[in-house]
Structure formats: C-alpha cells, structure tokens
Amino acid sequence: MHIVIPDDYQHVIRSLDCFSLLDGLQVSIYHDAQKNPNVLAQRFRDADALVLTRERTSIGAQLLTQLPRLKLISQTGKTGVHIDLDACTAQGVAVMEGRGSPIAPAELTWTLILNARRQLIPAIQGLYAGHWQTNLGERLYGQTLGIWGYGRIGQRLARYAQAFDMSVLVWGSETARDAAVRDGHRAAGCKQAFFSDVDVLSLNLRLTESTRHVVTVDDLLQMKPSALLVNTSRAELLAPGALLQALSSGRPGYAALDVLDDEPILDQAHPLLNHPRVLCTPHLGYVEKHSYELYFGDAFANVQAFFRGDPCQLVKPAAMQ
C-alpha cells in the first residue's frame, strides 16, 4: 500500500509521534507547494491513499481521472470545498475526515488582536532598529468584540473577551445569535449594525459556497475608522479586493490576517504584506504541535481503518446526505 502526503512545507510530518501509525507502509512525502495538476497527477499516480493537510491541495474531477489506483483520501480535520466529493464518488474514491480543535486557532486569533491593537510589531522593529517607543497602541478594555460565527472558536473568543473586560456582539445565523444571548452576550439586530458598532471584528465562519465572498466592501465601509478586522478563517470570505479598497477609504483602520488568497504567499511585494496598517501571519491558526498530532493522528488512523475494512468516518457528497 502506497500513501502519498503532499504539502509538508515544514518538514515536520515524519517527526510527529503519530507517524508511527504508518510504520511498515510505503509513504511518500512532498515538501513543496505544488498546484500544477500535471505534476500532482504524476506524484499521485501510484498512490492508494492521499493524506491531505487541510485545504492545501485541491482534488477535482480532472485530477481524479488520472489516478486509477487511488482508493482513499484521508483528510486532516474536516473536509472542505477543496475536495469534489461528487467526483470522488463517481471515481469510487472514499473520503474520510477527522476532528478539529478550536484551541490553537482561538489562541492565534487573540494573539493577533493583542498585537494589532497594541501595535507591537512596529514597536519591536523600532527597538531592534535602535529606536525607543516609536508608536502608540490601544488597550482592549472597554471595547466591543464582534464575532461573526459563534461556533467553538467564536465561543472561546467570547470568553477571552470577557477576561479582558470587553463586551461581545455576535452576528450570524439565528441559532448562533440565540446561543450568544443565552451565554450573556448581545446579538446584533442586523449586519449593518454589527459592522458599525464593533471595535474589533473577528471572522470565524467556515468557507462554503454560501459564505464565499460574504463580506463586501460596503460591509467594511460601515466600520469605524479606528476598528480592527481580524480574519483567521479563510481569505475567500471577503469579496476580491474588498479589504484593500476599504482600507484605502479609511474604514476599517486596521486589519490582522492569518489567511490570504492563493496560499502560500511567497511574493514579498504582495500588497497586504506591505500595507502599513495590516498585520499578516502565514496561516498559523492550526499549525501547532498538539493540533498536528490530533489532525494527522486521526488521518493516519483512518487510513488503517479503511484498508482493514473498517471505515467509520466516510464523507458523502451533499446529494447523498
């Protein structure tokens, strides 16, 4: 049995404790960010199983038709729009998923909020350049945290906000808003009020066809000139070009991003990387030791379960659910 694992940018997968689950199996690991479908077809052509790191590699119908040996895609964490489930079904390729954890993404989100609000990066850069106290940040106390998407990450952020004496305003589905009210927070009456009332706005939505480009430039222009937009979910939640256009108009005043279009970003001339009021990190939300052990541990265990005839977490396309 041949297992192929693409996109190990950090050369860390073999160092994980859970990698021992694959002992005795043929495993090929690639360490670059390859998106050329012809190259991927060449790399995957002898694979019986693929283990995917989140959404780094897209699997569509054209690629699948070139992989006659492929029987299983084992997804780290939950599946997303990067896998064409209907095409997998048509080709007889099973898809299995594991669990996710809100802990590391929530901690990273709060780290970005603190760094962006206190303007720590410019201050640190100034210090290392021989300057002392070059700028002025803001505290979080008394500000309003807006959370769009009150799931496990959003709920954790709300608790962090309470510890910092911030109020919490939630937008999202009726279910999400009702849950926020039950937890003692406020729910926005409408999307416009949500964007206009918050001081810090955190996007915590899953990327689906219904949430793609859900945040428009008109939404962002409702924000305060002093407000901070934080996105640690997916770049595609924002309409193309909306954030740069809104920042140029002065609303919101700042952004902190862990996700960017067309990752990985290796072009230092990228406009968001060079914007003076934007703080960027390289999609680190889940990139943490304990999260990797959880994600890959599940994915490797699913490979074992599938090939011994015991698949317990098969994912079906929407048409079959």
Query: What's this model's pTM, rounded to 2 decimal places?
Result: 0.91
Predicted confidence at residue 310, as pLDDT, reads 79
Note if 177 is an active site residue. Answer: no
Q: Which of 54, 177, 251, 283 is catalytic?
A: 283
Note if 54 is an active site residue. Answer: no
Determine contact, residues 166/186, Cβ cutoff 8 Å: no
Q: Do domains 2-100+289-320 and 103-280 have the same CATH topology?
A: yes
Phi, psi for 280 (deg, rounded to 5): -120, 140
**Beta strands 26-29 and 228-231: pairing type?**
unpaired
Q: Length of the chain, please?
A: 321
Predicted confidence at residue 312, as pLDDT, reads 61
What is the architecture, at CATH level 2, of domain 2-100+289-320? 3-Layer(aba) Sandwich (3.40)
Phi, psi for 29 (deg, rounded to 5): -120, 135
Note if 234 is an active site residue. Answer: yes
In tens, the pLDDT along 239-270 reads 999 999 999 999 999 999 999 998 999 888 99
For 301, other C-beta atoms within 10 Å of its C-beta total 17
Quote the tokens at residue 71. 């029987």
Predicted confidence at residue 260, as pLDDT, reads 96
In which residue are the tokens 């070009």 written? 241
The ranges assigned to domains in the chain are: 2-100+289-320, 103-280
DSSP 101-159: -SHHHHHHHHHHHHHHHHTHHHHHHHHHTT-S--------TT-EEEEE--SHHHHHHHH
Quote the tokens at residue 135. 């700028």
pLDDT tens by residue, the chain, 321 residues? 999 999 999 999 999 999 999 999 999 999 999 999 999 999 999 999 999 999 999 999 999 999 999 999 999 999 988 999 999 999 999 999 999 899 999 999 999 999 999 999 999 999 999 999 999 999 999 999 999 999 999 999 999 999 999 999 999 999 999 999 999 999 999 999 999 999 999 999 999 999 999 999 999 999 999 999 999 999 999 999 999 999 999 999 999 999 999 899 988 899 999 999 999 999 999 999 999 999 999 999 999 999 998 756 566 554 443
- Judge residue 150's burial from the number of C-beta atoms within 10 Å of its C-beta, 0-12 exposed, 13-18 middle, 19 or more buried: buried
Q: Which of 235, 200, 194, 237 is nearest to 114 (CA)?
A: 200
Rounded Cα–Cα distance for residues 211 and 258 (Å): 18
Q: Which of 236, 263, 288, 293 is catalytic?
A: 263
In which residue are the tokens 């693929």 written? 50
Around 2, how many Cα atoms within 13 Å sit in the side-chain half-sphere? 12
Overall fold of domain 103-280: Rossmann fold (3.40.50)
Q: Where are the alpha helices (DSSP H) in the chain?
A: 37-44, 61-64, 85-91, 103-118, 120-128, 152-163, 174-182, 191-197, 217-220, 242-249, 289-307
Q: Which of 56, 117, 177, 234 is catalytic?
A: 234
Rounded Cα–Cα distance for residues 19 and 202 (Å): 34
Q: What does pLDDT average to over the chain?
A: 95
